[in-house]
Structure 1
């Protein structure tokens, strides 16, 4: 099952710490709108909101039904996970699964005051997560001075849990601008495939798209040939002029 996470290390290598803007004041996922049944890599973005202490640990509780989750810790950090035995084993394409992952933890590193960190996690959404649902991921943030911040509230609370919106099966994973901890509770119809009366949201596709194919017509080919001949002729003229100049210089 972990064969699906082969690109995770490369993602972690690109993780950087930079000063956040006001919009990054909450723990959040990027991308945060994920298709039903998908297995994706998403970043847990964690800000440091204190002026005299570093973030030293991040613990994220996963919803029931996550059978596979793997982290790629940034430099200086360690990743670990907690599991729970399933009441009934589940058969998957990769074999029989006897436990689910209940929590993922990043520890041992530091996020300095005024910075934020990205923590890549590859996971599969629970089979029970259906299109149109919003999944919360309660998160505990620990500082070097002993302070603990519990991001476990609703989207309207001061400390909301980061959320992921479940979109239509087969859609692209998107980074949607909405609430501080995630996208709007109801995404626009063009993203979810269902009717919505919520305010519009801005979405940035994350999945790679197929390169556009350029078709050159016969007319364009003829035009290009003519241009090539003209350029070639100009090159010969310039070369001849340079040669004549050298000969005159030598004769002098």
Structure 2
């Protein structure tokens, strides 16, 4: 196999990896900032990537399950976006901190107020949630994404265990075991998160150093080999002249 064929094969392999990576990370998802514990409160990010090269995202809707209602859902202001919280009457009132709650948040809608999510970009929409339910391991937050060309993508398909991932999977918030203070973690969890962040940062620096050192070491070895070859060639040339 000549050099050109190797280059073509390498290019195809890299293109395949890029396509697969883009597909895997192009879904709307929800990611907790810390721990989302049953019975507690949590701050999460709704991560919305733009999948189109010829259109921008101008509207995002996130729907909350009515079978596991949340009494409190508060969006953090995002520059260039207007957030609207929709509440609905509950068939069965909730008891929260000794108070009876008759309404729950069923949807949060972000609409462009000057900002857009362009091609090759993503936007995070922070939410404060609580009180999280104690009778389920996850919350399915179905989302709807609207583009400025009026295309609508519905991220509402629920994944099933043992089955392939659906084309438009719904975002899922995993819930961990309940904590004693019902605040989704507390100071101890924050300390652990800080320690983990510090450890990950050190590991990232070490990995970066290794990745930087590796090419340098390879080049150094190549340089040494070239030098040795040059010396050997010089010695052989000298012997031939002597002969």
* Fold match by TM threshold 0.5: yes
In structure 1, C-alpha distance between the alignment counterparts of 2:134 and 2:170, rounded to whole Å: 20
Q: Find the residue that maps to 1:208 and give its secondary structure.
A: helix
In structure 2, C-alpha distance between the alignment counterparts of 1:112 and 1:173, rounded to whole Å: 34
Q: Which has the higher strand share?
A: 1
Q: Gaps spanning 5+ residues in structure 1: where?
A: 1-20, 175-205, 213-252
Give, in angstroms, the shift of residue 29 of structure 1.
1.1
Q: Name the Cα RMSD after superposition.
A: 2.7
In structure 2, C-alpha distance between the alignment counterparts of 1:150 and 1:39, rounded to whole Å: 27
Q: Gaps spanning 5+ residues in structure 2: where?
A: 1-20, 160-164, 196-243
Map of 1:81 onto structure 2:
85
Query: Is residue 145 of structure 1 aligned with residue 149 of structure 2?
Result: yes
In structure 1, C-alpha distance between the alignment counterparts of 2:38 and 2:60, rounded to whole Å: 26
Map of 1:36 onto structure 2:
38
Q: 1:92 to 1:135 in 2, by over 3 A?
A: closer
Question: With structure 1 as the length reference, what TM-score do the two structures score?
Answer: 0.57
Map of 1:163 onto structure 2:
172
The total of aligned residue pairs comes to 159
Alpha-carbon displacement from aligned partner over 1:165-219 (angstroms, at most 9, x marks no partner):
1211129969xxxxxxxxxxxxxxxxxxxxxxxxxxxxxxx9521688xxxxxxx
In structure 2, C-alpha distance between the alignment counterparts of 1:40 and 1:74, rounded to whole Å: 18
Alpha-carbon displacement from aligned partner over 1:127-169 (angstroms, at most 9, x marks no partner):
3543xx2321110000001110000112310110000112111
Question: With structure 2 as the length reference, what TM-score do the two structures score?
Answer: 0.58
In structure 1, C-alpha distance between the alignment counterparts of 2:184 and 2:133, rounded to whole Å: 17
Contact 1:73 1:106 survives alignment (8 Å)? no
Q: Which has the higher helix share?
A: 2
Give, in angstroms, the shift of residue 41 of structure 1.
0.7
Contact 2:93 2:103 survives alignment (8 Å)? yes
Q: 1:77 to 1:25 in 2, by over 3 A?
A: same
Q: 1:126 to 1:34 in 2, by over 3 A?
A: closer
Find the partner of 2:139 among 135, 138, 148.
135
Find the partner of 1:122 among 104, 120, 128.
128
Once the two structures are superposed, the pairs formed by residues 189-228 of structure 1 within 5 Å of their partners are: 207-209=189-191
In structure 2, C-alpha distance between the alignment counterparts of 1:110 and 1:85, rounded to whole Å: 32
Map of 1:244 onto structure 2:
none
